[in-house]
Amino acid sequence: MLKFNEEQQRSSIQDALALRPRIEEVVDEISRKGFRNLYFLGIGGTWASSMQAKTHMKERSSLWVNDLLSSEYNTTGDRCVGEGSVIIFSSVTGTTVEVVESVRRAKEAGATIFGFVDTAGTPLAELCDYWIQYPANEQLKFLIVADRFLYDNGEFDDYDRCYAEMDAHLADALIETEKLADDFGREFAEKHHDDPMHYFIGCGIQYGHTYSYAMCFWEEQHWRRSKSIHAGEFFHGTLEIIDRDTPVTLFLGEDSQRPLAERVKRFLPQVCANYTCIDTKDYPLTGISPEFRGSICHIVLRTVTTRIDAHMERINCHPLQIRRYYRQWDY
């Protein structure tokens, strides 16, 4: 299978799950000390992950939690961020300029900084009050953080059972998903690799990936035009430009917002003959109980779209790591 190393994938996920005792230590300490509000902060793809974590918590929690777009915070500010605030973020390079500025600003305002920074000795690693270093798996790291805050706030009684299942089965469930999705990914890439525009629709805990899949994958990595639209917003404008041939992909998850995507699913066949549904319900996720599937359906979705990317890259002869403009000069 193209760009797939099963053992590497298994240990990547398993070792991310193994961060849990350290994450629990940090979150428990923050919860014990008390806090006023929580922000998942990011820009681009990391903002997308932040939106997911926020939505996941909103579904369950009375805590004051939000996402924070780094560039907005650096300019408009947010006077609710200060003493008693907790900023949670993730960064691969540890140097993204907007995020460095945001974290510095929030820290000066008195916030507690909890960061996943993959590269030691970087500005972002050094700004953290709590720092965890481990590559990739950003969505999973944020999920564990969010779930532990819920647990500490008495809003997730099944935490232990849930993570016992994750520890035992998540890696294999995602590997199983990736294998099952490979034929689909190849067929999808063969059909859509040259689309002049592609629409991605999604919502809920999957909206972050919908947004980032269109922007950080198709636009940034494939250099293909695409637009994301929230399933709850689709009927308030974008529907009007869908016709028989418009390439549309609808993501369906298993969280509270699924009915919004289902409504789009009912509508699309009436006006479009070129749409695809990616529904995480179609994947068995062996070993994961039904009640926990909603919390991980964004990770499952990402696993499925990974197979599209692998085949698109090959068909389009366009290596995903190249950038036309990004970080190519000082703009």
Point out which residues bind a second copy (CB under 8 A). Answer: 43-45, 47, 55, 58-59, 61-62, 64, 66, 69-72, 75-80, 98, 196-197, 203-204, 212, 215-216, 219-220, 223-225, 227, 229-233, 235-242, 255-260, 263, 266-267, 270-271, 323-326, 331
How far apart are CB 268 and a second copy at their closest, in Å? Answer: 10
- Shorter beta-carbon distance to a second copy: residue 144 or 260: 260
- Shorter beta-carbon distance to a second copy: residue 16 or 124: 124
228: three-class secondary structure by DSSP: strand
DSSP code at position 292: H
How far apart are CB 167 and a second copy at their closest, in Å? Answer: 27
How far apart are CB 279 and a second copy at their closest, in Å? Answer: 17
How far apart are CB 258 and a second copy at their closest, in Å? Answer: 8
- Shorter beta-carbon distance to a second copy: residue 19 or 143: 143
How far apart are CB 216 and a second copy at their closest, in Å? Answer: 5
Token reading at 249: 């992909």
Q: Phi/psi at 279 (nearest 5 deg)?
A: -115, 120
Cα separation, 28 vs 119, in Å, equals: 25
How far apart are CB 17 and a second copy at their closest, in Å? Answer: 26
1-10 LR contacts (CB < 8 Å, sep 24+): 1/178, 1/179, 1/182, 2/182, 2/310, 2/311, 2/314, 3/310, 3/313, 4/178, 4/182, 4/310, 6/175, 9/171, 9/174, 9/175, 9/178, 10/171, 10/172, 10/175
CA distances, 49 to each of 1, 88, 211, 269 (Å):
27, 11, 10, 30
The answer to whether the CB of 208 falls within 8 A of the CB of 50 is yes
Alpha carbon 89 to chain centroid, angstroms:
12
Helix residue ranges per DSSP H, 268-326: 290-316
How far apart are CB 61 and a second copy at their closest, in Å? Answer: 6
CA distances, 205 to each of 119, 196, 231, 266 (Å):
27, 28, 12, 21
The answer to whether the CB of 130 falls within 8 A of the CB of 33 is no
How far apart are CB 269 and a second copy at their closest, in Å? Answer: 11
- Shorter beta-carbon distance to a second copy: residue 257 or 306: 257
Smallest CA-to-CA distance from 104 within 143, 74, 68, 142 is with: 74
- Shorter beta-carbon distance to a second copy: residue 13 or 48: 48
The answer to whether the CB of 141 falls within 8 A of the CB of 116 is yes
- Shorter beta-carbon distance to a second copy: residue 55 or 306: 55
- Shorter beta-carbon distance to a second copy: residue 177 or 226: 226
- Shorter beta-carbon distance to a second copy: residue 43 or 111: 43
How far apart are CB 63 and a second copy at their closest, in Å? Answer: 8
- Shorter beta-carbon distance to a second copy: residue 179 or 227: 227
At a CB cut-off of 8 Å and minimum separation 6, what does 130 contact?
26, 29, 30, 112, 113, 114, 115
